[in-house]
A and B are shown apart, each in its own frame.
Chain A
Amino acid sequence: MEFLTPLIGLYASAVAVPLLLLLYFLKLRRHEVPVSSTLLWKRAVHDLQVNAPFQKLRRNLLLVLQLLALAAILASLAGPVLALRRGPGRRYVLLIDRSASMNATDVVPTRLDAAKKQAKAFIESMRSGSTLSWRDQSDHAMVIAFDQRAGVVCNFTSDKRQLAARIDAIEPGDGASRLGEAVTVARAFAQSSGAEDAGRAAEKAAQLVLFSDGRIGDLDGIVIDANEILFHAIGKSADNVGITAMSARRSYERPEEVEVFASLANFGSQPVTRDVQLAVGGNVHAVRSVTIPACRPAADHMPARAGEVILNFSLSHSDAGVLEVRQLGSDALSCDDAAWGILDPPRRSSVLLVTRGNPVLESALRACPIARLDPCSPAGFDALDPAVFAARQDYDVVVLDNHVPAHLPQGRYLVFGAPPSGLDVNAPGELENQVLVDWRAQHPVLQHVNMTNLFAARSHRLELPRDAEVLAEFSESPALALLRRHGSTYLLVSFDVLQSNWPFEPGFVLFCYNALSFLSAQVSSERQRGLAVGEPITIEDVPADAVLTVRGPDGIQAELKPDPGGTVRFPGTHRVGVYAVATPDQAPRFYAVNLLDPQESWIEPREKIELADAVVAAEKEGVQRANMPLWPLLALVALVLVCVEWLAYNLKVRI
């Protein structure tokens, strides 16, 4: 124990102790009473002293108690501090991991709470500048919470109360951990010297204090000196079973059939048997028991590897719905126990055919499994308002048959003949009698399409931009190309079908089928509904006056308004689960936010973290309470002593 302001304590005691003694002796002037003889009284007093032990002590008990109380008050004035850290004030940056793995409950209540507790203990141990001291030796700290993003929770301050309150306010997240951004932010703040910190920047660099379980994804990209960072490892157990991958998709052939794949990983040291449940829209569809092998520990040169099992469910569900795969056992981390998938209703494409009349193409398209095929004249297509056309999304695919339209609404195009203008594609001339020399048979568009015998009597010479994907080539020019421009997808065929022998090939119908499927699939890929934690929900083309309501897990609820461009973004997907976005007049849209991150599910705490060029071992012990001011304790002791003194006085006086 040391004293911050010993001189003040000394001065005060020099005044107060003699004063108390003086008061005590003044107080002892007893009231005089004449008696006939003190004989019997003296005998009685003697008897009392003989029969009551510690009588002598008791006579001075009040003085002793008062002296003790005074000593406690004086000592608290001197500012005693337990385990004083000496030296000038330092600056600390507390990095608190709030990623998914920090939700593990192997440390009660959760790792994040344990980290907060340790961080608060650290804050409490900081030196606060004494108002009575003329040297400012207070420590400053800043708090950053990070998952895959870093957020400044509290800027540099020495206000412990504020720091503790802000640490308390850190919310858990389900994201992955990335330390890099946090370190960058910390350095940026630590180097900027505010007016308050003038002259401090030249001092020692701020000390980074990391509270984490060490499961951080980007450690090898972080360059920190090993002395600059303190690592407090949090967590005890590695026992966790998590879903690390999940996908659900409809089969091409039978759209009502849904295939669900899930990968379960066991990170514990023992094999476990778990029930895995598949639910659709809250109704349990199947429960399957699986045994997942144990995690293989790291052997020489072989990293540790989690035991994995892949599950495959298939079900028949022709409606939209929310799929949930959940492992039913309980383990330390709950956010990876379930994964969700959004199932769209089986969708058949609507196709707009812009042609002057092409029965071959029309019949080939009609052979494909599409919802409808609307023929349209080139003049009719040019007459459409492109903005309205793009907004209504009536058609999944537009087939342009040898027509260069005046304007191109956003959409997906299958273009035969001359390429549309405005795509950076030039058609400088025509070629004759072209034969295919090469094609990419593995591409989805050309799967099972035999193009060996394709011959084009007339073809446009195409000069494609560099990012175009060439699917088939004539000897002098590309024949088939895939191009993405302005949010639209174009599948360009450089020749008119009627100028080739393709209609007589069986591959033509297959090509049409593949092309429509592929381009339709671009639609659903646009409406991505499976998100990682932290990825924003984006909805486009929302009417300007609409108000969208988002309901998420954990009581997340928000009302959203579109920006002037008609886009709504909801960035608050910090927890895993199903988010429902409700518009006033439509059925809610569902978005699944999944963890699906083996790095986070692997909750085994690390003894050391391996940075780019340094290895930082975890601190052996938790945060030790230092710089503990003892004056409140001493003041309490003084209060208790005064109370005891009062009690003793009353017991003594009362007959």
Chain B
Amino acid sequence: MSATKPTTRKLSELLDPQFMARLDSLDLLSRKVLQGKLQGERRSKRRGRSVEFADHRPYVVGDDLRFVDWNVYGRLEQLFLKLFLEEQDLTVHVLVDASASMGVGEPAKGLFAKRLTAALGYISLVNSNRLTISLFGDGVRTQLANLRGRNYLPQMAEMLLTTDCDGLSDFEKACRDATAARLGSGITIVISDFLFKQGYESALRRLIGAHYDLYVIQVLSPQEIAPELAGDLKLLDIEDGDVAEITVSSALIKYYKRNLAAYCDELRNFCTNRGAVYVQANSADSIESLVLNYLRRIQLLR
């Protein structure tokens, strides 16, 4: 393809080519057997055209005669249809937070999230899964839906690289938008810092269901994990401009860290209680080790 060349270069701004080469051998793995849309490489619940036999059923008028099991007819003189498990593709939906809060941090959480998205998207596209990437802020801002195949790699890279992190975040609305699109069952990966003032519970509840295999990846910057602040400060919320006046003391830092740990634990418990997988990532960590080691260990990747 003519457009491949420049966009690969663009993708390489996010991912190291060597890393990409290693990603080629990986595939996404769903813990559930899910229904896809197109015939693909995966088993689905749907009986269909496949090589994998599932069951027999009596013939009714109108059935495709190609699937009649003539061997059975020879033995029993009754028409039975052979039912096959249909192999379908896997739908992967990556929800990436692109609100202003993701732009904060050294290194920025947003970049980390985009690189992670790029890695996951690359894996999905290479393995012919159906990939949908939604960048959300105050609702879903940009979405690339139903990408399939390597051909979409440049498009994905462009979208990720051209979208800046700004604006408010409304996780609830973003999830509503995402579920409203009815992208079908599959893996849902949410990448965000999850520092939502209005809460994340009801929003996440929308994403959890029998048809969705939910992965929650919380990205925090090192400055958020261990703040290095001193003096009388006026903390400015980068999204809504909210102000918190603090005088940094050892006690305050202690309470902050305690709160952060409690917050993350709460999120983790919320996820595990509902069958979702929670992953915490530090934006200073390397994408490579996260993807190649950790995500494989929790069997999101194979």
| A and B associate in one complex | yes
Picked from B221, B234, B245, B246, the residue with its CB within 8 Å of the CB of A36 is B221
Given contacts A28-B232, A35-B104, A36-B238, contact A45 B195 (CB under 8 A): no
In the bound complex, how far is the Cα of B87 from the Cα of A137, in angstroms?
113
Question: In the complex, are the beta carbons of B259 and A34 less than 8 A apart?
Answer: no
Say which one of A47-55, A501-509, A634-642 lies at the interface with B. Answer: A47-55
Question: In the complex, are the beta carbons of A39 and B255 less than 8 A apart?
Answer: no
8 contacts between A and B (CB under 8 A): A30-B231, A31-B232, A35-B237, A38-B235, A40-B260, A44-B253, A44-B259, A655-B230
Interface hub of A37, A38, A41, A653 (most chain B Cβ within 10 A)? A37
Question: In the complex, are the beta carbons of A41 and B246 less than 8 A apart?
Answer: yes
CB of B109 within 8 Å of the partner chain: yes
CB of A42 within 8 Å of the partner chain: yes
Question: In the complex, are the beta carbons of B251 and A52 less than 8 A apart?
Answer: yes
Question: In the complex, are the beta carbons of B236 and A34 less than 8 A apart?
Answer: yes
CB of A43 within 8 Å of the partner chain: yes
Given contacts A45-B252, A48-B251, A655-B253, contact A34 B244 (CB under 8 A): no
Question: In the complex, are the beta carbons of A39 and B197 less than 8 A apart?
Answer: yes
Residues of chain B within 8 A (CB-CB) of A45 are 244, 246, 252, 255
CB of A443 within 8 Å of the partner chain: no
In the bound complex, how far is the Cα of B246 from the Cα of A28, in angstroms?
11
What size tier do the contact residues of chain B reach?
35 or more
CB of A33 within 8 Å of the partner chain: yes
Closest 7 CB pairs of A and B: A36-B101, A37-B195, A44-B256, A30-B234, A44-B255, A36-B104, A38-B244
CB of B54 within 8 Å of the partner chain: no
CB of A32 within 8 Å of the partner chain: yes
Residues of chain A within 8 A (CB-CB) of B72 are none
Residues of chain B within 8 A (CB-CB) of A39 are 195-197
Distance in angstroms from A442 CB to nearest chain B CB is 108
In the bound complex, how far is the Cα of B56 from the Cα of A336, in angstroms?
142
For window 236-268 of B, CB contacts with A under 8 Å fall at 236-239, 242-253, 255-256, 258-260, 263
CB of B48 within 8 Å of the partner chain: no
In the bound complex, how far is the Cα of B252 from the Cα of A52, in angstroms?
10
CB of A407 within 8 Å of the partner chain: no
In the bound complex, how far is the Cα of B232 from the Cα of A345, in angstroms?
98
CB of A484 within 8 Å of the partner chain: no
CB of B167 within 8 Å of the partner chain: no
CB of B145 within 8 Å of the partner chain: no
In the bound complex, how far is the Cα of B195 from the Cα of A51, in angstroms?
24
What size tier do the contact residues of chain A reach?
20 to 34
CB of A448 within 8 Å of the partner chain: no
Secondary structure of the B contact surface, majority rule:
mixed
Distance in angstroms from B12 CB to nearest chain A CB is 28
Additional 19 contacts, C-beta under 8 A, given A35-B223, A36-B239, A39-B196: A30-B231, A32-B234, A33-B229, A34-B236, A35-B224, A36-B101, A36-B102, A38-B237, A40-B260, A41-B235, A41-B246, A44-B253, A44-B255, A44-B258, A45-B246, A48-B249, A48-B252, A652-B249, A655-B250
Question: In the complex, are the beta carbons of A33 and B230 less than 8 A apart?
Answer: no
Question: In the complex, are the beta carbons of B195 and A40 less than 8 A apart?
Answer: yes
Distance in angstroms from B246 CB to nearest chain A CB is 6
Q: Which residue of A lies closest to B169 (CB)?
A: A37
Picked from A33, A52, A655, the residue with its CB within 8 Å of the CB of B236 is A33
Q: Which residue of A lies closest to B100 (CB)?
A: A36
In the bound complex, how far is the Cα of B259 from the Cα of A38, in angstroms?
12
Given contacts A34-B238, A655-B248, contact A40 B256 (CB under 8 A): yes
In the bound complex, how far is the Cα of B42 from the Cα of A227, in angstroms?
123
Residues of chain B within 8 A (CB-CB) of A33 are 229, 233-236
CB of B89 within 8 Å of the partner chain: no
Question: In the complex, are the beta carbons of A41 and B238 less than 8 A apart?
Answer: no
CB of B86 within 8 Å of the partner chain: no
Q: Which residue of A lies closest to B229 (CB)?
A: A33
Q: Which residue of B lies closest to A50 (CB)?
A: B255
Given contacts A652-B247, A653-B230, A653-B231, contact A35 B255 (CB under 8 A): no
Residues of chain A within 8 A (CB-CB) of B195 are 36-37, 39-40
Taken residue by residue from 168 to 205, chain B's Cβ proximity to chain A (1 for < 8 Å, 0 otherwise) reads as: 00000000000000000000000001011100000000
Question: In the complex, are the beta carbons of A51 and B231 less than 8 A apart?
Answer: no
CB of B105 within 8 Å of the partner chain: yes
In the bound complex, how far is the Cα of B235 from the Cα of A31, in angstroms?
8
Question: In the complex, are the beta carbons of B233 and A36 less than 8 A apart?
Answer: no
Residues of chain B within 8 A (CB-CB) of A653 are 230-231, 247-249
Taken residue by residue from 92 to 116, chain B's Cβ proximity to chain A (1 for < 8 Å, 0 otherwise) reads as: 0000000001101100010000000
Given contacts A44-B252, A44-B255, contact A32 B246 (CB under 8 A): no
Question: In the complex, are the beta carbons of A37 and B249 less than 8 A apart?
Answer: no
Question: In the complex, are the beta carbons of A30 and B232 less than 8 A apart?
Answer: yes
Residues of chain A within 8 A (CB-CB) of B251 are 48, 51-52
In the bound complex, how far is the Cα of B193 from the Cα of A36, in angstroms?
9
Picked from B193, B231, B256, the residue with its CB within 8 Å of the CB of A41 is B256
Question: In the complex, are the beta carbons of B259 and A43 less than 8 A apart?
Answer: yes
In the bound complex, how far is the Cα of B235 from the Cα of A34, in angstroms?
6
Q: Which residue of A lies closest to B193 (CB)?
A: A36
Question: In the complex, are the beta carbons of A31 and B233 less than 8 A apart?
Answer: yes
Residues of chain A within 8 A (CB-CB) of B109 are 36
Q: Which residue of B lies closest to A41 (CB)?
A: B244
Q: Which residue of A lies closest to B197 (CB)?
A: A39
